[in-house]
Amino acid sequence: MTDLIENFLPSQYRQNDEYKINHNYLRDQFSDKDQILEKIRRVVERGDFTLGEEVDLFEREFASLSGVKFAVGVGSGTDALFLSLKAHGVGPGDEVITTPFTFYATIGAIVTAGAKPIFVDAGEDFNIDYSLIESKITSSTKAIMPVHWSGRPCEMDQIIDIGARKNIPIISDACHAIKAEYKGNKIGGLGEVACFSFHPLKNLNVWGDGGIVATNSSEVAAKLRLLRNHGLASRDECQVFAYNSRLDTIQAVVARHMLEKIESITESRINNAHYFDEALSSITQISIPHRHVHLKEVFHLYSIVCERRNELQKFLNQNGVDAKIHYPVPMHLQPAASHLGYKQGDFPIAEKLSKNTISLPVHEFITKADCDHVIKLIQHFYG
β-strand partners of 38: none
Could you tell me how many helices (H) and strands (E) the chain has, helices first? 13, 15
What confidence tens digit (pLDDT) does each residue in 207-242 have? 999 999 999 999 999 999 999 999 999 999 999 999
Can you tell me the distance from the alpha carbon of 143 to that of 126, in angstroms, rounded to the nearest whole number?
Answer: 20
Phi, psi at residue 125, to the nearest 5°? -90, 10
pLDDT at 6: 85
pLDDT higher than threshold 70 for residue 347: yes
What span, in angstroms and rounded, lies between the C-alpha atoms of 173 and 102? 9
Strand-strand pairing, 232-234 and 237-238: antiparallel
CB atoms within 10 A of CB 260: 10
Share of the chain above pLDDT 70, in %: 99
| Interior angle at CA 285, CA 282 and CA 286, nearest 5 | 65
Residue % of the chain over a pLDDT of 90: 93
Q: DSSP assignment, residue 133?
A: T
- Residue 9's pLDDT is 80
Q: Which contiguous run of DSSP H or E holds residue 109?
A: helix 104-112
Q: Omega into 104 within 30° of 0, i.e. cis?
A: no
C-alpha radius of gyration, the chain, whole number: 21
Instruction: Identify the pLDDT of residue 25.
Output: 87
Q: How far is CA 66 from CA 63, 187, 208, in A?
A: 5, 7, 22
Residue 1's pLDDT band (boundaries 50, 70, 90)?
low
Q: Which domains does the chain have, with CATH numbers?
A: 33-259 (3.40.640.10), 262-381 (3.90.1150.10)
Question: How many residues does the structure list for the chain?
Answer: 383
Distance CA 80, CA 73 (A): 8
pTM metric for this prediction:
0.96
* Spatial distance between the Cα atoms of 124 and 69, rounded to a whole number of angstroms: 34
Q: Give the pLDDT confidence score for residue 2 in this predicted structure.
A: 56
Which of 167, 3, 172 lies closest to 84, judged by CA? 172
State the pLDDT at residue 4: 75
Q: How many CB atoms lie within 10 A of CB 59?
A: 22
Does the pLDDT at position 3 exceed 80? no
- Return d(Cα 150, Cα 360) in angstroms, integer: 12
Q: Mean pLDDT for the chain?
A: 96
Q: Give me the mean pLDDT over the 157-178 stretch.
A: 98
Nearest of 158, 180, 170 to residue 84 by alpha carbon: 170
Q: Give the Cα-Cα-Cα angle 300, 305, 310 (nearest 5 degrees).
A: 100
